[in-house]
Amino acid sequence: HQESDRGLLCRVAVEYFVRLKRRPQGSLSPTESELLFDLAHLLSTGCEIDKDIQAEAAALLLDRQRQIEKSEIKIGCLLPLSGPNAVAGARFLRGMEIALEVYPRPVPGAGKPALKVQSSSSPSSSSSSSGETVAVTPAAVTSETGYNSSSPSLPRVKVFLYDTAGEGEQARAGVDYLVHEKKVSLLLGPYTGKAANYAAAQAQSLGVTMISLSPLLHSLERYQNVFQHCPTIRNQAVSLAELSRARLGIRKFALLVPRNRYGREFAEKFVSQVESWGGQVVRQVEYDASRPDFGPAIRELIGERRYRRFKEKRKDYEAWLKRRQRQRQAAKSGAQLEPDGADKLADLARKIGIDGAELNIISADEIMPRPLLRCDFEALVIPDREQTLKLLIPQLAFYDLDECFLLGGRYWNNTEFLDSLANFAEGSFFVGASLPPVTTGSESEAFVSDPQAEIQAHFQADFSALNRGEIPGLLELYGYDTIMLLRKLAVNIDPQADAETWRQLLAGCRDLSLASGLTTTLDDGEIAKKLYPLMFRKGKITLVSESCF
C-alpha cells in the first residue's frame, strides 16, 4: 500500500513538474518557482521515474545551486571553536546563525530545525579541531519549512569558519588558508587577544580586509585594512559622558578608577569627552583592585580635610541630637531641665549650622536631618568589573558618599550583580550594547520608541524561540550584528567584491541601525556604537528615555 502511494505521489509530481518546466521563463510566480524546485528535489532523489525526467530535475537543481553560489557573498571567519575559549567562539557563532538565517524562521509549535553545515574540506561540523574549516550557509527555502526571510532584500552570505583554538600562530595560518584557498577578500575575527593581533598583522600584509571581534587588538590605527567591532573602552567612556550631558545634565565629575589599563584608558577617554563640551573632572583617584579595603582611595576622593570636617560636624550633630532628645523627654515628663541646658543646646546648634533664630523656630518634637557630605562633584564614575564593584560600592555608603550619581561602564549592565548590591546601586546609570528582555508596560513602550532597541527586541525573540527561551548575551549580539552589518552594507555590491571595496564600504558606515545601537565607523577603524543609556531602578535595568527626567 505504501509503495502504491509513493508511486502515485511520484506520478503526480512528474505531471506538475513537466507543466511548470514547460512554462515560459519568467512567467512563474515566486510560489510556483519554489514548488518547481521542491518537485525537482523529490524527483531527483526519491522516485523511480523516467531517467530523462530525473536527469532534467537534477540539472535544474544543479543550475539553481550554481546561481545561488554565484550570488552569495563569501567571507572567512576565524573563531576559537576549540581550546579554552571555545565557549566564546560558540556564542559568537550562535548569533551569526540568526543573521545568516541558517534556521527557518520559528513558527508556533515548531521545534528547532537542524543546522545545515556544508563541509569545505574534510570536517563535517563546526566543532572541528584546530585549523579545519566549515562553511555555514542559509537554509534552503522550501514551502515545507514555513521559512520566511526577515530580510528578503539583503544579500546571502556564505561563511567559511576556521578554528584558531585561540592561538596566535593558528590564527595567522587561518588568514593564509582562507585568503589563498577559499579566495575570500573579507575576514571576521578573531576574538582572543593574541590571535587577533597575529591575524591583523597577517591580513594587513596580504591586503585583505578584516573586522576584528576582539577588544584586545592593539594599535588599530596601524592597520589600514583592519576594523574593530566590539564594545571598546573608548566607546563606553564617550557614551557615558554623553549620557551624563544630554540626559542627566551633569557637569562636574569625580573618577574612582582601578590601577590597570582598563581604568586608566577609560578615565583618559572620559575626561577628554567631558572637557570637549565644557564639563569638568574635579578629581581622579586610583585604587588597587586586588585589595578589599578601598577606604584610603575613597577618603582621598572626598578630600581628607573635607571628610575630617564632616566627621566633626556629624559628631556635633549626634551630641546635639542626644541633648535635644533629653530636653524633649524632660519637657514631656515635667522634670527639671539642666540649668545650662539651653545654652549648651544653642552652642551645639551653632556648630552644626543652626543659628539662634532657626533654633527658636524648630518645634520641640522636630528633629533636624543629619548633615550631608557636601562634595565638589555631582557624579562619581567607577569603571570596573563586577567582582571589584561588589566590594567597593557598599564602602561608599560607609563613608557617607551616597548622595551623588553613580555612573559606570558596560560591566554594570548585569541584573544579578546589581541585585547583589541591594539599595546601594539603586538609581545608578551606565551604558551597554545589550538590553534586558522586553516584557510589557512602560519598558515595552521605551523599546518601541527607540528603533535600535526594537531591532534588538526582535533578535532576542528569534534567538529565544530557537534556544528554548534563552536570552542572548553580548557575544551572541555582536555575532549577529557583525553579519547584519555586512549584509546591510553589501546590498548593491558585486558578490565577488575585492578587499578595497569592502574597506571603503566599512570606512563609510554612518548611523547604521543595528541591534546593538546606531553604528558609525570612526577614522581609526573602530566600528563604534551609540550605546544604550541604562539605569537600575526598583530592581530592574531599564532603558533611559527622555521622559525619565
**393-432 core/surface letters (b: 16 or more CB in 10 A; e: else):** bbbbeebbbbebbbbbbbbbbbeebbeebeebbeebbbbb
Task: Quick: pLDDT tens for 353-379.
Answer: 555 544 444 444 455 555 567 788 999
430-437: average pLDDT: 92
Is a pLDDT exceeding 90 seen at residue 258? yes
Task: Place 152 in a pLDDT band, splitting at 50, 70 and 90.
Answer: low
Q: Output DSSP code: residue 15.
A: H
Q: Write out the three cell numbers for 440.
A: 510589557
For residue 401, the model assigns a pLDDT of 86
Q: Write out the three cell numbers for 545.
A: 528615555
Question: Which residue from 498, 487, 474, 263 is spatially nearest to 384, judged by alpha carbons?
Answer: 263
pTM of the model: 0.78
Q: 218-227, 253-262, 343-352: lowest mean pLDDT where?
A: 343-352
Q: Where are the alpha helices (DSSP H) in 380-423?
A: 386-398, 415-420
Residue of higher predicted confidence among 483 and 154: 483
* 62: three-class secondary structure by DSSP: helix
322-336: average pLDDT: 69
Mutual angle of helices 304-333 and 341-351, in 10-degree steps = 150
Amino acid at 464: S
- 168 vs 199: CA distance, rounded Å: 7
For residue 488, the model assigns a pLDDT of 95
The DSSP bridge partners found for residue 513 are 518
Task: Place 202 in a pLDDT band, splitting at 50, 70 and 90.
Answer: very high
Task: Quick: pLDDT tens for 209-235.
Answer: 999 999 999 999 999 999 999 999 999
Return the residue matching grid coordinates 536631618: 369
* 14: three-class secondary structure by DSSP: helix
For residue 143, the model assigns a pLDDT of 25
Percent of the residues in the chain that have a pLDDT greater than 90, as a whole number: 54
- 493 vs 157: CA distance, rounded Å: 13
Is a pLDDT exceeding 90 seen at residue 29? no
70-80: average pLDDT: 92
Q: State the number of CA atoms in the 13 A half-sphere of 328 facing the CB.
A: 12
For residue 338, the model assigns a pLDDT of 57
pLDDT mean across residues, the chain: 83
Task: Quick: pLDDT tens for 90-111.
Answer: 999 999 999 998 876 654 444 4
Return the residue matching grid coordinates 571581534: 213
For residue 336, the model assigns a pLDDT of 58
470-477: average pLDDT: 96
Task: Place 337 in a pLDDT band, splitting at 50, 70 and 90.
Answer: low
- Tell me the DSSP string of 180-234: HTS--SEEE---SHHHHHHHHHHHHHHT-EEEE--TT---GGG-TTEEE-S--HH
Q: Is 117 left (phi over 0), alpha (psi -120 to 50) or beta?
A: beta
For residue 504, the model assigns a pLDDT of 97
